Amino acid sequence: MPITEFLENNARTYPDEVALVEIAPQMFEKAKVTWKEYALIQPNPEESGRQELTWKEFDKKANRFANLLLSRGVKKGDKVAILLMNCLEWLPIYFGALRAGALAVPLNYRYTAAEIKYCVELAEADVLIFGPEFIGRVEEICDRLTGVSQMFYAGKNCPTFAESYDKLVTYCSSKKPEIELCDADNAAIYFSSGTTGFPKAILHDHASLVHSCKVEQNHHGQTKDDTFLLIPPLYHTGAKMHWFGSLISASKAVLLKGIKPEWIIKAVSEEKCTIVWLLVPWAQDILDAIDRGEIEMNRYELSQWRLMHIGAQPVPPSLIKRWKEKFPNHEYDTNYGLSESIGPGCVHLGVENVHKVGAIGKAGYGWEVKICDTDGNVVPKGDVGELAVYGPGVMKCYYNDEKATNEVLRDGWLFTGDMAMEDEDGFIFLVDRKKDVIISGGENLYPVQIEDFLRKNDKIKDVAVIGLPDARLGEIAAAIIEIKEGMTATEDEINEFCKDMPKYKRPRKVIFADVPRNPTGKIEKPKLREIYCPESLVATQIKG
């Protein structure tokens, strides 16, 4: 069945129950009352800082957007690019695209204008819908977007180069459109990248999305009584596929627009959240705030909070030890996944295996895993090889990229590019990445992009970017810079130069040294890691 049937069933069975809550906590900073009380006294719901959406309203909004798309000639198989910050409209727009038979194409909100153009054209998107945060970036490329015939704007003060989504959908029917969908129909395109930093378009069908719903509920046991606190961006497969557990169980989810520790704890308390997915830095920030006395635990109602799980980067065992000291009744879990495997869950630790923190776990629900040598043969336990996964959530292909598809898909198995080992108990540990992608605070950083930017500096002869372990972010980007003969440069000077780069991509450490290259001209990054990172964070986890 298509994933849209879950939404339809929820709207029919629980029409008046809350599906989504959006909270903008910065609006409550000086309020002396609860978020709900503050929202009730505000005359304009959109300015109250807290809004709700029932399953019936969610379903109707999805249908209205679907009918808008169909009225504009969008056909089954067309693509709708979504460029929005987390908001109440995000998921109805996503499901509206699917209801119309189109493919949803979520875009990273950190993309530059050039990256937006590249991804929209790579996916061959026919429609782009964007929010107020992206007006400048979209305006920069709007007259050069190949293939995009329509642009909708979700928000106030619609720019002249787009049409108002909010106004148009009010005139559209809220009835389900008569578009037949099946498991094998294409449903979504997500984006990933290799070490070059050029995104690949990852194609998934409805069966793949449905399987991710089943995986999440199987792993974390969501019921109608759960409330999921959703903090990461919805363009990311991790956030959305964990929310799919709420979709399949018809339970409430809270979209929190902020990551301050006190906001997270207050949201858990006031919204009675039972499940929270965190990144490593956020969990560390919460613990540090508690230790500093900035969060007084006895002021909050946290007894209903049953599960904290982490993903997107290696998890230090010391962090979970600290967490269990502060929250001894919490279950803990971690999942491993890729956008190519429809996000988290193809490998899963399990709440019963907290003693194995540091491992990513075993094969998830409905998945198979193996660790292979370069010829595809399974290696003995304890040996390092490439992790491969097999299951209903494997992508169909890299869209319009047969060569890249064939490099990672072999007989239905997805070769992840991650190097791993299996211990004597069958638990899998990541050892290194075949690719040079740096995962910092849950975000992928691509060394070549940073290197290419730095090479624009006239004083730089050569540069290599590697990841160094960081207790809070998992990894940070470090730039090894070789200065041209006869010139000098300081770390402050390099940092100032990098201000023209998105903040999250800037190197956090600058090292002035020679950049070694092999006889073919390739940078010898393994040698650099031996010098500046002799023992990786993951290796430490495996030993400890």
Q: Strands 443-445 and 438-440: what pairing?
A: antiparallel
Q: What domains appear along the chain, each with residue ranges and CATH number?
A: 4-310 (3.40.50.12780), 317-433 (2.30.38.10), 439-543 (3.30.300.30)
Give the pLDDT confidence score for residue 435 in this predicted structure: 67
- Tokens of residue 479, six digits: 């730039």
Residue 33: enclosing H or E segment and its boundaries? none
Q: Residues with Cβ < 8 Å from 364, sequence gap 6 or more?
A: 215, 219, 335, 345, 346, 347, 348, 391
Q: Where are the alpha helices (DSSP H) in 199-293?
A: 206-220, 237-249, 261-271, 280-291
Q: Which of 435, 382, 446, 429 is nearest to 538 (CA)?
A: 429
* pLDDT for 535 beyond 70: no
Contact between 62 and 27 (Cβ < 8 Å): no
- Give, in degrees to the nearest 5, the angle at Cα 41 between 39 and 43: 90
Q: Tell me the C-alpha distance between 185 and 1, whole Å.
A: 10
Q: Tell me the C-alpha distance between 281 and 402, whole Å.
A: 37
Q: Tell me the C-alpha distance between 306 and 329, whole Å.
A: 7
Sign of the torsion formed by the C-alpha atoms of 422, 426, 430 and 431: negative
CA 129 to chain centre: 19
Q: With cut-offs at 50, 70 and 90, classify the pLDDT of residue 25.
A: confident
Q: With cut-offs at 50, 70 and 90, classify the pLDDT of residue 428.
A: very high
Q: Give me the sheet containing 460-470, strands edge to edge.
A: 460-470, 474-483, 509-512
- Tokens of residue 477, six digits: 């980007």
301-316 per-position pLDDT tens digit: 999 999 999 876 667 7
Give the pLDDT confidence score for residue 139 in this predicted structure: 98
Average pLDDT along the chain: 90
Give the pLDDT confidence score for residue 313 in this predicted structure: 64
Mean pLDDT value across residues 359-380: 94
Q: Tell me the C-alpha distance between 54 and 21, whole Å.
A: 9
- Tokens of residue 309, six digits: 């799980």
Give the pLDDT confidence score for residue 461 in this predicted structure: 84
Matching residue, tokens 């109707």 = 60
Query: Which range has the worst mean pLDDT, 63-67, 178-182, 206-210, 442-446?
Result: 442-446
222-240 per-position pLDDT tens digit: 999 999 999 999 998 888 8
CB atoms within 10 A of CB 29: 9
Mean pLDDT value across residues 146-151: 96
Q: Tell me the C-alpha distance between 189 and 79, whole Å.
A: 9
Q: Is 7 helix (H, G, I), strand (E, B) or coil?
A: helix
Give the pLDDT confidence score for residue 195 in this predicted structure: 38
CA 139 to chain centre: 25
Mean pLDDT value across residues 176-197: 85
Q: Strands 227-230 and 275-278: what pairing?
A: parallel
Query: Which range has the worst mean pLDDT, 120-124, 369-373, 382-386, 387-391?
Result: 382-386
Q: Is 509 helix (H, G, I), strand (E, B) or coil?
A: strand
Query: Which range has the worst mean pLDDT, 27-41, 101-115, 156-170?
Result: 27-41
* pLDDT for 192 beyond 50: yes
* pLDDT for 540 beyond 50: no
Give the pLDDT confidence score for residue 541 in this predicted structure: 32
395-422 per-position pLDDT tens digit: 999 999 999 999 999 999 999 988 889 9
Give the pLDDT confidence score for residue 433 in this predicted structure: 64
Q: Where are the alpha helices (DSSP H) in 292-377?
A: 317-326
* pLDDT for 271 beyond 90: yes
Q: With cut-offs at 50, 70 and 90, classify the pLDDT of residue 324.
A: very high
Residue 184: enclosing H or E segment and its boundaries? none
Query: Which range has the worst mean pLDDT, 34-38, 241-245, 372-376?
Result: 34-38
Percent of the chain whose predicted confidence (pLDDT) is above 90: 70
Q: With cut-offs at 50, 70 and 90, classify the pLDDT of residue 539.
A: very low
Mean pLDDT value across residues 34-38: 70
Contact between 80 and 126 (Cβ < 8 Å): yes
Query: What is the DSSP-derived secondary structure letter of residue 44?
Result: S
Mean pLDDT value across residues 347-372: 94
Proportion of the chain in helix, strand, coil states, percent, rounded to 5: 35, 25, 40
476-486 per-position pLDDT tens digit: 999 999 998 78
Contact between 36 and 50 (Cβ < 8 Å): yes
Q: Where are the alpha helices (DSSP H) in 250-336?
A: 261-271, 280-291, 317-326
Q: Tell me the C-alpha distance between 534 and 204, whole Å.
A: 39
Q: Which of 166, 123, 159 is nearest to 143 (CA)?
A: 159
Query: Which range has the worst mean pLDDT, 23-27, 208-212, 428-432, 466-470?
Result: 428-432
Task: Indicate yes or no: pTM above 0.85.
Answer: no
Residues paired with residue 470 on neighbouring β-strands, in sequence order: 474
Give the pLDDT confidence score for residue 536 in this predicted structure: 47
Give the pLDDT confidence score for residue 197 in this predicted structure: 55
Give the pLDDT confidence score for residue 395 in this predicted structure: 97
The better pLDDT of the pair 420, 15 is held by 15
Q: Tell me the C-alpha distance between 16 and 22, whole Å.
A: 17
Percent of the chain whose predicted confidence (pLDDT) is above 70: 92
501 burial (CB, 10 Å; 0-12 / 13-18 / 19+) is: middle
* pLDDT for 194 beyond 50: no
Q: Which of 72, 60, 54, 69 is nearest to 15 (CA)?
A: 54
Contact between 220 and 92 (Cβ < 8 Å): no
Mean pLDDT value across residues 269-283: 92
Q: With cut-offs at 50, 70 and 90, classify the pLDDT of residue 446.
A: confident
Query: What is the DSSP-derived secondary structure letter of residue 54?
Result: E
Residue 482 has phi, psi (to 5 degrees) of: -105, 120
328-350 per-position pLDDT tens digit: 999 999 999 999 999 889 999 99
* pLDDT for 196 beyond 60: no
DSSP class per residue in 417-466:
EEEEEE-TTS-EEEEEESS--EEETTEEE-HHHHHHHHTTSTTEEEEEEE
Q: Tell me the C-alpha distance between 357 and 476, whole Å.
A: 22
* pLDDT for 116 beyond 50: yes
Mean pLDDT value across residues 103-109: 95
